[in-house]
């Protein structure tokens, strides 16, 4: 069955497609938003304090006069920065890996099977988080990088299905439906996680064990409910035939070389350059440490040179946007805006748990874990209705205008996070702020996805969505990198959060100049050719 022959707007297939949102939302909520950040930060903090005691012979306190740091990839970083840096690392790997997958997908009829493969890898890596303890704390960031990379890879193929299963006039509704199901799915599992966490003594387990079980449960949920998608989603034929004498990998590199106007040999170097950080970091760290000890280098800035190898995929990303601007200028403009503003959204979600749990002296809220879980549950529940409402709002005022409204609200959120929630009412204020986030979260993401799907030339869905996915749900690289560096430099989470307003302002500057109607017409014309 070809794509053209496959039914469109089939309720059974749409439900199966949307159920993957239900399945993978567990990773975004239980792992990304609630449990992993505080758990890994706590373990890293304990290791850092033990290391400080071993080096100085005294226990670390806030008045010690030295920053509390932990060795991560050979670098001295704040414990609160470990998870944001791990997120950044995983997404940079996505930037190198996903374009290859996108190119392969356009020449393969196995989109469904590749979706299944990467979803399974991600789910199994998430289940393995159960084995992360104090003695194996570094395993946590490593497994998260694998899981988040797989999460993004699966979504390339998942999102590329949207133009195939829904007509143009139905995509806003179908996309919002998927997000709405996702929020309900995340809500249900998180509610169960909350019961286990709060009543862990009644179940005869420790608090730490309850957290480990909750981390693994996200992977089990992801894997189990994905089976509905595998059963109902139809396979589609490849958008392009593989030329004689070529294979999927060779044609993928040639396609990328053509798309990005870069020699094929250089493509491999740029895509694989992030791996150099595992060589580069151990080599450069001794010299950085020497300069720090001599007083010739500010310790807070010491980590910056280490991230040089990460920019290979970013160079390719810029070249992709530049070259696509020639044939689909408005689509490229929107994609550039999306990659920036959604990176900010994902960073806010990713660091919310760390911000809520961190001590007041570090600029955090010092809230109890159960308060954080209650807020996240509220967000998931309200976000269901928010996603549906935003789909209606897009129909009333237009998709682009709806996104612009959401970015104004997001800007207000980070401003308030910086200046508000200072007193005893901070838990209540955090809950109100969470409700506001919930109202715009699903809407801004769902409408962005459906609008972008209309701007893509037919048969190039995977190619474009591979780039789009670099800043999709639960993923960010630049925002978390900025946040992690800001925390390490200033030692204050509120300043780091305020820095994220940059991403929303850039989106507000670019979006008004995107001609969405022209983008849709350009996509249709490119398809016809």
| Three-state DSSP string of 66-99 | CCCCEEECCEEECHHHHHHHHHHHHHHHHHHHHH
Residue 316 has pLDDT above 50, yes or no: yes
Judge contact between 481 and 344, C-beta under 8 A.
Answer: no
Q: Has residue 247 been placed in a domain?
A: no
| Rounded Cα gap, residues 364 and 356, in angstroms | 6
Q: What is the pLDDT of residue 387?
A: 74
- According to the per-residue pLDDT averaged within each range, which of 94-103, 111-120, 125-134 is highest? 125-134
Question: Of 421 and 111, which is predicted with more confidence?
Answer: 421
pTM, whole model, 2 decimals? 0.73
- Residue 446: which of 501, 475, 406 has the closest Cα? 406
Q: How confident is the model at residue 196 (pLDDT cuts 50, 70, 90)?
A: very high
Q: What is the pLDDT of residue 222?
A: 96
What CATH code is carried by the domain that includes residue 125?
1.20.1250.20
CA 357 to chain centre: 21
Q: What is the pLDDT of residue 302?
A: 55
| Ordered DSSP codes for 281-319 | HHHHHHHHHHHHHHTSS-GGGTTGGGGGGGGHHHHHHHH
CA distances from 38 to 50, 243, 374, 388 (A): 18, 50, 15, 31
Q: What is the pLDDT of residue 485?
A: 76
Judge contact between 181 and 18, C-beta under 8 A.
Answer: yes
Residue range 390-428, pLDDT digits in tens:
778 877 888 889 899 999 999 999 999 998 888 888 888
Q: What is the pLDDT of residue 166?
A: 83
Q: What is the pLDDT of residue 297?
A: 44
| Rounded Cα gap, residues 23 and 18, in angstroms | 9
Domain tally, the chain: 1
Q: Report the run of H or E that residue 105 belongs to, with start and end.
A: helix 82-106
Residue 169 has pLDDT above 90, yes or no: no
Q: What is the pLDDT of residue 415?
A: 93
Task: For residue 427, give both structure tokens.
Answer: 């838990």
Q: Has residue 249 been placed in a domain?
A: no
Q: How many C-beta atoms surround the C-beta of residue 455 within 10 A? A: 23
Q: Has residue 208 been placed in a domain?
A: yes
Judge contact between 379 and 182, C-beta under 8 A.
Answer: no
Q: Which residues have CB under 8 Å from 313's CB, separation 6+?
A: 92, 93, 95, 96, 270, 271, 273, 274
| Rounded Cα gap, residues 405 and 438, in angstroms | 14
| Rounded Cα gap, residues 70 and 52, in angstroms | 9
Residue range 466-500, pLDDT digits in tens:
677 665 654 456 777 788 778 777 778 888 889 89
- Alpha helix (H) residue ranges in 328-476: 329-357, 369-397, 399-419, 426-454, 461-468
Q: Has residue 6 been placed in a domain?
A: no
Q: How confident is the model at residue 214 (pLDDT cuts 50, 70, 90)?
A: very high
Q: Has residue 144 been placed in a domain?
A: yes
Q: How confident is the model at residue 238 (pLDDT cuts 50, 70, 90)?
A: low
Judge contact between 75 and 281, C-beta under 8 A.
Answer: yes
Judge contact between 80 and 347, C-beta under 8 A.
Answer: no
Residue 233 has pLDDT above 80, yes or no: yes
Please compute the mean of the pLDDT values over residues 174-187 and round it to a whole number: 83
Which of 6-12's residues contact partners 24+ apart within 8 Å by CB, and which partners?
A: 6/164, 6/234, 6/236, 8/164, 8/165, 8/166, 8/167, 9/165, 9/166, 9/167, 9/170, 10/165, 12/232
Q: What is the pLDDT of residue 121?
A: 96
Residue 4 has pLDDT above 50, yes or no: no
| Rounded Cα gap, residues 258 and 264, in angstroms | 9
Q: What is the pLDDT of residue 22?
A: 93
Residue 64 has pLDDT above 70, yes or no: no
The mean pLDDT of the chain is 80
Q: What is the pLDDT of residue 492?
A: 82
Q: Has residue 87 been placed in a domain?
A: yes
Judge contact between 48 and 69, C-beta under 8 A.
Answer: yes
Residue 240 has pLDDT above 70, yes or no: no
What percent of the chain lies above the pLDDT cut of 70? 83
| Rounded Cα gap, residues 114 and 137, in angstroms | 30
Q: Has residue 309 been placed in a domain?
A: no
Please compute the mean of the pLDDT values over residues 35-49 and round it to a whole number: 88
Q: Has residue 323 been placed in a domain?
A: no
Per the listing, tokens 């200046």 go with 419
Q: What is the pLDDT of residue 210?
A: 95
Q: What is the pLDDT of residue 53?
A: 85
Question: Of 318 and 144, which is predicted with more confidence?
Answer: 144
Q: Which domain holds residue 395?
A: 11-237+262-300+331-528
Q: What is the pLDDT of residue 474?
A: 46
Q: How confident is the model at residue 117 (pLDDT cuts 50, 70, 90)?
A: very high
Q: What is the pLDDT of residue 219?
A: 96
Residue 59: half-sphere exposure toward Cβ, Cα within 13 Å: 2
């Amino acid at each position: 069955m070809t794509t053209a022959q496959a039914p469109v707007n089939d309720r059974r297939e749409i439900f199966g497609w949307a159920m993957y949102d239900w399945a993978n939302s567990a990773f975004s909520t239980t792992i990304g938003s609630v449990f992993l950040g505080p758990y890994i930060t706590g373990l890293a903090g304990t290791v850092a304090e033990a290391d400080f005691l071993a080096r100085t012979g005294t226990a670390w306190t806030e008045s010690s006069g030295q920053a509390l740091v932990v060795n991560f990839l050979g670098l001295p970083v704040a414990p609160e920065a470990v998870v944001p840096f791990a997120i950044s690392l995983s997404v940079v790997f996505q930037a190198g890996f996903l374009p290859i997958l996108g190119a392969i997908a356009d020449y393969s009829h196995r989109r469904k099977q590749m979706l299944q493969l990467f979803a399974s890898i991600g789910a199994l890596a998430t289940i393995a988080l159960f084995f992360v303890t104090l003695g194996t704390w570094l395993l946590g960031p490593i497994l998260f990088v694998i899981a988040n990379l797989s999460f993004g890879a699966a979504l390339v193929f998942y999102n590329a299905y949207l133009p195939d299963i829904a007509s143009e006039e139905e995509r806003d509704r179908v996309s919002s439906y998927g997000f709405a199901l996702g929020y309900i799915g995340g809500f249900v599992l998180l509610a169960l996680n909350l019961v286990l966490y709060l009543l862990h003594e009644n179940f005869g387990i420790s608090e730490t064990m309850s957290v480990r079980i909750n981390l693994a449960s996200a992977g089990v949920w992801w894997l189990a409910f994905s089976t509905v998608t595998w059963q109902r989603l139809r396979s589609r034929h490849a958008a392009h035939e593989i030329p004689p004498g070529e294979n999927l990998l060779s044609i993928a590199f040639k396609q990328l070389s053509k798309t990005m106007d870069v020699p094929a040999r250089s493509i491999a170097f740029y895509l694989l350059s992030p791996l150099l950080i595992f060589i580069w970091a151990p080599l450069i760290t001794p010299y950085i440490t020497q300069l720090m000890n001599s007083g010739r280098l500010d310790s807070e800035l010491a980590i910056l040179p280490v991230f040089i190898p990460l920019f290979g995929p970013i160079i390719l990303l810029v070249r992709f946007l530049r070259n696509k601007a020639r044939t689909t200028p408005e689509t490229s403009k929107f994609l550039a805006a999306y990659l920036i503003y959604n990176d900010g959204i994902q960073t806010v979600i990713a660091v919310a748990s760390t911000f809520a749990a961190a001590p007041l002296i570090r600029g955090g809220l010092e809230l109890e874990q159960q308060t954080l879980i209650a807020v996240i549950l509220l967000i998931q529940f309200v976000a269901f209705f928010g996603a549906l409402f935003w789909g209606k709002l897009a129909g009333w005022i237009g998709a682009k205008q709806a996104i612009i409204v959401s970015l104004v609200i997001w800007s207000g959120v980070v401003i308030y996070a910086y200046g508000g929630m200072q007193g005893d009412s901070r838990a209540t204020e955090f809950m109100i702020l969470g409700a506001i986030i919930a109202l715009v979260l699903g809407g801004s993401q769902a409408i962005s996805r459906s609008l972008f799907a209309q701007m893509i030339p037919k048969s190039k869905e995977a190619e474009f969505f591979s780039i789009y996915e670099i800043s999709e749900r639960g993923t960010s690289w630049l925002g978390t990198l900025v946040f992690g560096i800001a925390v390490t430099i200033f030692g204050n989470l509120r300043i780091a959060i305020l820095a994220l307003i940059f991403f929303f302002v850039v989106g507000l500057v670019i979006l008004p100049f995107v001609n969405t109607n022209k983008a849709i017409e350009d996509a249709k014309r490119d398809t016809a050719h």
